[in-house]
Homo-oligomer: A and B are copies of this chain.
């Protein structure tokens, strides 16, 4: 029989408390940087026990809506940082068994748009940040880990330059998942560094010239090149991100 009634929604107190606070934050009644009342005070106001309040706070804390100053004790209203968002999202990708080819495909879709937007709207400062990242990468000798960080910083700087917070937040988790495989590519493909360097150079030039089409086009080529990198490095495209690449690569080396 078709159900006649919805089940009575029962919401535990800790859930309702966390929703109440969340709603106030989203409605901007609690603004970033503002300290939250103490746990005891919240318990008094909501008329629940402090333990219940604490459970609610933990939920908001892990969503990145609440945070604390370094070494601090009290909680402050914050907005989810790139890192918090990126962490959660890349975790989700892993659990959904995304493969490197899936991440690559998403990058191929997103990055040209970011580069194009960056070319359109870059400021002198944001351009300088992009150039700095490219220069740092070009200057590296060895230092695999740092070189990878530079590549990520390059993409990040482009995201910032796009002036689009959506791009900034989407960028982070994709880059995070790219990182491990990038390490393998740099180790195993001798010409990888040179190719990345020249691609970055072309993109930087296009962004500097505010040439949207060129920036977008070069970025598309750059990302396509990554795929070749996977193939040359012997990373199966169907490898799941989050799987340790050591294993799959060990078999090839």
Contact = CB atoms under 8 A, between A and B. Distances in A.
Contact of A26 (B10, B65, B91, B169): B91
A169 B93 contact: yes
A165 interface: yes
Q: Bin the interface of chain A by size.
A: 35 or more
A92 interface: yes
Given A92-B80, A109-B109, A102 B7 contact: no
B26 A102 contact: no
A85 interface: yes
B85 A80 contact: no
Contacts of A98: 164-166
A187 B116 CA distance: 32
Contacts of A105: 113, 117, 164, 166-167
Given A164-B102, A242-B26, A92 B169 contact: yes
A92 B85 contact: yes
A88 B88 contact: yes
A102 B10 CA distance: 37
Contacts of A108: 113
Contacts of A110: 106, 109-110, 113
A30 to B, nearest CB: 11
8 contacts: A64-B92, A65-B91, A85-B88, A85-B92, A89-B169, A93-B166, A102-B165, A106-B170
A1 B10 CA distance: 54
Interface string A65-97: 100001100000001100001001101111111
